[in-house]
Homo-oligomer: A and B are copies of this chain.
């Protein structure tokens, strides 16, 4: 596989914004079962090896895990404060849970679980997200999950981009490039007006 032509721009943005921990946070928009959009902040966890797919993690008990199955299209909006640039990445999601589907992606799911901090792993043993608050503090101090074998509700979430809109606010006047993948998996790039 070849790196998509927008990968170098993302790598440069990550590098130039590395002083800000939250430069690795981005917003993922999906469509709910009722046809309305949903939008939340996720942490970018790198690219899946030998692909152009972005990696995230999520909990299969969260609302988004439900409707991703029905409507897998998503758009990431990723703003980099230091360099004042934005990437809008539109593509299709794959949810890799602990069940038997996506056997080929289980090693990637297990790897990312093992790379997490203890605190991050612990959240997957917390009470059901989005349900009425469990008031007992002990519910949020469960025994530490196995650091080797992921809990069943831990999911790897992959975004496979089909188009990327890159806007640089610092240009003169501004620069904007639009990348698109065609049916032959080839990427094309066009300069467009900001």
A88 touches B37 (CB 8 A): no
Q: From A77, which residue of chain B is reached at the shortest CB distance?
A: B39
Choose from B35, B133, B193 the contact partner of A31 (Cβ within 8 Å): B35
Known A37-B29, A173-B126; contact A132-B190, beta-carbon cutoff 8 A: yes
In contact, A192 and B130 (Cβ under 8 angstroms): yes
**Interface residues of A, CB < 8 Å — how many?**
48
Please state if B37 and A134 are interface contacts (CB–CB under 8 Å): no
Given contacts A38-B75, A137-B173, 6 further A-B pairs with CB under 8 A are A20-B81, A36-B73, A37-B73, A127-B193, A130-B193, A132-B190
Interface residues in chain A, defined as those with a beta carbon under 8 Å from any beta carbon in chain B: 20, 22, 25, 27-31, 35-41, 71, 73-77, 79, 81, 86, 88, 90, 123, 126-134, 137, 140-141, 172-173, 176, 178, 190-194
